[in-house]
Structure 1
Amino acid sequence: MNKQLPQERREELINLLKTRFEKNKNRHAGIDWANVQAKIEANSNKMWSLNEMEESEGEPDVIGYDAATDEYIFVDCSAESPKGRRSFCYDRAALDARKEHKPTNNALEFAEEIGVELLTEEQYKNLQQLGKFDTKTSSWIQTPAAIRQLGGALFCDRRYNHVFVYHNGAESYYAARGFRGLLRV
């Protein structure tokens, strides 16, 4: 798969990300856009992943910086779970287990395809400190192996001004459930 974006799209994406970055300074206090942009432009695979996040309506934005790895952390900051990543079951095993009415894809493989990770429970709760996300939708999160081995998977949402963590059969899928990705650049 070609992970190179045409120059015109690269410029459009950088401008879009910069505009979002400047509009939402509360998400990344103390982070300088010029440094973020330099990191993105230096890594075409990460730029491609950011474009995939954007194309599936995730509205990626910087929410932090990891000094230990010298990486900026991007997360989908769309108000609701990204539209282009909904109606997915949790993983390949869940997709294969469905006999009828299979969803088009699964969250873990799609995340891998676009080069992102599902959020952990802690990351999801931290994101909710930066705004109100998933007030009408929900998002799959990384599920501990012990839960997954028993057929379950975890998802989160925000209702009643509180973040909830729930469980469901991993093979389930809903029009209002997707997943949020995390990308380190």
Structure 2
Amino acid sequence: MSKKELSLNERDELLKILQIRFEKNMNRHKGLDWDAIQARLEADNSKLWSLNEMELSGGEPDVVAHDAATGEYIFYDCATESPKERRSLCYDREALDSRKENKPVDSALDMAASMGIEILTEEQYRQLQTLGKFDLKTSSWIKTPPEIRKLGGALFADYRYNHVFVYHNGASSYYAARGFRGSLRV
């Protein structure tokens, strides 16, 4: 078994968790059928591995959309707060390498890549917020446009005062209450 595959027991346990979450949160995926999603998941063990990484790091992944053009189901991290095991990270490798001292353990983009997921864009983050209230106490790095990143900045977002706020910070900054949320197409 390769490093990025789940054992049969791990796979079955993850599918059970995902199904329970799916059934508990039908408002996130109206009109979608679990059996079709499960069949797609079972056909791609590497995607299951990525979903397991999302789960293990506190993301609570759930289906939020179906792309009719590709047939893919789209999962986002739906934990109420930014995933616990993905906080205290700077934005990307360049930011991490630029820190001379007090470096965080990783960057959001590197960790996402190692998990096989993408961090949410601003549009995706806003879409997530239509499905519930997320990041009431934390914040999440979001995909930063190259023109902002080139100048040393990076974007993050949160939900306060019944509103989604998008802010900027130096890409090398990191905070105990800031992580990132991921997306995965299956």
TM-score, length of structure 1 as denominator length:
0.99
Q: CA deviation at 1:3?
A: 1.1
The within-5 A match list for 1:107-146 is 107-146=108-147
Amino acid of the residue matched to residue 126 of structure 1?
Q
Pair 1:10 & 2:11 matched: yes
Aligned mates of 1:84, 1:38 — CA distance in 2: 29
Instruction: Give the gaps of 5 or more residues in structure 1.
Output: none
The within-5 A match list for 1:142-161 is 142-161=143-162
State the aligned residue count: 185
Amino acid of the residue matched to residue 85 of structure 1?
R
Map of 1:163 onto structure 2:
164
Amino acid of the residue matched to residue 77 of structure 1?
C
- Runs of 4+ aligned structure 1 residues displaced above 4 Å come to none
Map of 1:51 onto structure 2:
52
Map of 2:100 onto structure 1:
99
Aligned mates of 2:115, 2:40 — CA distance in 1: 18
Q: CA deviation at 1:148?
A: 0.1
Map of 2:40 onto structure 1:
39
Aligned mates of 1:97, 1:157 — CA distance in 2: 26
Amino acid of the residue matched to residue 82 of structure 1?
P
The within-5 A match list for 1:18-33 is 18-33=19-34
Amino acid of the residue matched to residue 40 of structure 2?
K
Aligned mates of 2:112, 2:85 — CA distance in 1: 12
Aligned mates of 1:181, 1:119 — CA distance in 2: 6
Query: Helix, strand or coil: the match of 1:135?
Result: coil
Aligned mates of 2:42, 2:176 — CA distance in 1: 35
Query: Helix, strand or coil: the match of 2:75?
Result: strand
Map of 1:76 onto structure 2:
77
Q: CA deviation at 1:152?
A: 0.1
Q: CA deviation at 1:60?
A: 0.1
Q: CA deviation at 1:4?
A: 1.2
Give the share of equivalent positions with the same residue, in percent.
67
TM-score, length of structure 2 as denominator length:
0.99
Aligned mates of 2:119, 2:4 — CA distance in 1: 20
Q: CA deviation at 1:63?
A: 0.2
Q: CA deviation at 1:2?
A: 1.4
Amino acid of the residue matched to residue 61 of structure 1?
D
Aligned mates of 1:62, 1:125 — CA distance in 2: 16
Aligned mates of 2:75, 2:5 — CA distance in 1: 19
Map of 1:173 onto structure 2:
174
Aligned mates of 2:145, 2:139 — CA distance in 1: 18
Instruction: Give the gaps of 5 or more residues in structure 2.
Output: none
Q: CA deviation at 1:161?
A: 0.8
- Cα offsets for 1:81-123 (capped at 9, x unmatched): 0001000000000000001100000000110000100111010
